[in-house]
Structure 1
Amino acid sequence: MSDNPARQPTIFIPHGGGPCFFMDWTWGPPDTWHPTQRFLETLQDSLPTTPSALLVISGHWEEAGFTAGAVEKPDLIFDYSGSPPHTYELTWPAPGDPELAARVAKMLREAGLPAGLSQTRGCDHGVFVPLKVAFPDARIPVVPLSLDRGLDPELHLQAGRALAHLRDEGVLIVASGMSFHNLRAYLRPETSEPAAAFDAWLTSAVESPAPQRNEMLRYWQNAPFASFAHPRPEHLIPLMIAAGAGGNAPGKRVFRDEPMGAAISAFRFDG
């Protein structure tokens, strides 16, 4: 733990499905995503102080190398389909922070990692949908950061380590994904048990001492039901950045639910 009152944790959050917090969900009961919404609504009050900025890694943005969005007024990217018309008119006018974006890219390059800037990238739904719930006043500057499209766990752990110092400046590093992301498996009775087994393994990994945690996450594909939980890992890989920046203390599961019959969790690192 740090005695710096401005130091922020890092956190991995589930961002739900599409604009799920702003519509009556049709893939199950209307309250399917209410527990996740309530968790996100408590996020801001759980922080040591108001963040100076939000650095958000979304499972919906991949580039050849890490890319930080350097836009002063980022647009919203409505990258979902088949949702009610009003969900394409949502607003969340958080300002960007081009200076921070440039620093993020520089820090990554200085660590020997591929990194650059985008002068056009806005906030996809992995960014604005959960953060509209968590930070509804949209006053804190936000910088979206892409995944590297190779989706290598070790590369993303390294990226987290390279960016960890930003926490001491009050930057909240938010990894936005899903700890279970197999769209074909939702709402099937046979999904519950393997999803719970993977979630239990992932929680054990996160809550282990940092060297063991990083080793387990580096080889997450060896976890029980790993390929079932993540046929493609883009929604899990943001966790690697949060863990890499998470310090030496064990992380902690801070939320768990089973929407649509599959266990999902949120994790926080205060080390």
Structure 2
Amino acid sequence: MSQLAFPTYFLSHGGGPWPFMKDQFGGRYDVLEASLQDIPRQLGARPKAVLVVTAHWEGPQFLVSASPNPGMIYDYSGFPAHTYQIQYPAPGAPALAAQVKTLLDAAGHPARLDHERGFDHGTFSALFPIYPEADMPLVQLSLKHGYDALTHIQVGRALASLRQQGVLILGSGLSYHNLRQFGQPGAVASQQFDAWLRQAMALPPAERLAHLLAWDQAPAARQAHPREDHLLPLMVALGAAENEPAQVVYHEDDFFGALAVSSFRFGQAAD
């Protein structure tokens, strides 16, 4: 990380409320958890707030959570009863939400403030290992219907100045997200797409951008992402640090026993 700006991240956030199910999952999430817990060290300083681009929220325009005290959204099913009582009482940041809206409006991507939106599991499951005290102000940003990759990269560009203001930008999704082919049925597709994605991240910025804009031409792209909702947070994180190098900060080849998944940082770590 430079002295002036935090890096940005694309996080493969895992499945459901996994940080609150260690008795059920055992060590299945140990590698992911360790990668998330290491983020404060990589930053080298405490952000003033976090902006989470969540794969679990979308609208006809970009939406920005603006509640000072967000509630909880248990946007999953079939999990143990206690996971529907989880609380992650991090504060909102209405002033940051208003600034995000202003930046997006000025960039030609009109946004709307949502004063009711709570934290979905793409936010609280990813943030709990990073800031377990739930004392970091959080704002969520939605995706936009249509799933246009360039639009989401442009939104990242519009938000890049927040990095110099102490705001950490996290894209929360999953580098493989085909729930009909999870586990062993998705092994080959996930390996092929993840290998392509990691290779694309290592390219110079202009080539990397070209590859991502044509992501659906990648090997097994539509098998890995029948709907690209869990990939688009990557586009925003990239756009906000477009000319900076990418680093793999989490990778497994046996997620749920068979899947290849990865997370990336754009920009340098503090050390």
TM-score tier by shorter-chain length is: over 0.9
For normalisation by structure 1, the TM-score amounts to: 0.94
| Aligned residue identity for 1:122 | G
Select between 154-163 and 133-142 the one with higher mean Cα deviation: 133-142
Q: 1:193 aligns with which of 181, 188, 192?
A: 188
> What residue is the counterpart of 2:31 in the other structure?
35
Q: Which amino acid aligns with 2:17?
A: P
Are residues 1:178 and 2:160 paired?
A: no
Over 3 Å counting, the alpha-carbon distance change for 1:25 and 1:222 in structure 2 is: farther
Question: Which amino acid is the alignment partner of residue 95 of structure 1?
Answer: P
Question: In structure 2, what is the Cα distance between the partners aligned to 1:55 and 1:10?
Answer: 10
Aligned partners of 1:59 and 1:177 also within 8 Å? yes
Opposite residue 51 of structure 2, the aligned amino acid is L
- Matched-pair contact (CA < 8 Å) for 2:194–2:262: yes
Give the alignment partner of residue 86 of structure 1, picking from 82, 85, 102.
82
Structure 1 residue matching 2:45: 3-state secondary structure: coil
Provide the C-alpha distance between the structure 2 equivalents of 1:81 and 1:247, rounded to a whole number of angstroms: 36
Q: Which one of the candidate residues 61, 64, 77 is aligned to 2:60?
A: 64
How far apart in 2 are the matches of 1:184 and 1:118? Answer: 32
Which one of the candidate residues 2, 5, 8 is aligned to 2:6?
Answer: 8
Secondary structure at the counterpart of residue 263 of structure 1: strand
Deviation per residue, 1:84-138 (Å, 9 max, x gap)? 1111111111110111101101101101112111011111010011101111111
Q: 1:54 aligns with which of 50, 53, 57?
A: 50
Deviations 1:171-192 (A, max 9, x none): 000000000001122222x532
CA contact (8 A) 1:247 1:270 kept: no
Change (3 A) 1:200 1:70: same
Cα pair 1:11 1:269 within 8 Å, conserved? yes
Alpha-carbon distance change, 25 to 154 in structure 1, aligned in 2, over 3 angstroms: farther
Query: Among 208, 223, 240, which residue is 1:245 paired with?
Result: 240
User: Please, which runs of 5 or more residues in structure 2 have no aligned partner?
Assistant: none
Structure 1 runs of 4+ aligned residues shifted over 4 Å read none
Q: CA deviation at 1:22?
A: 1.4
Q: How many residues were matched structurally?
A: 266
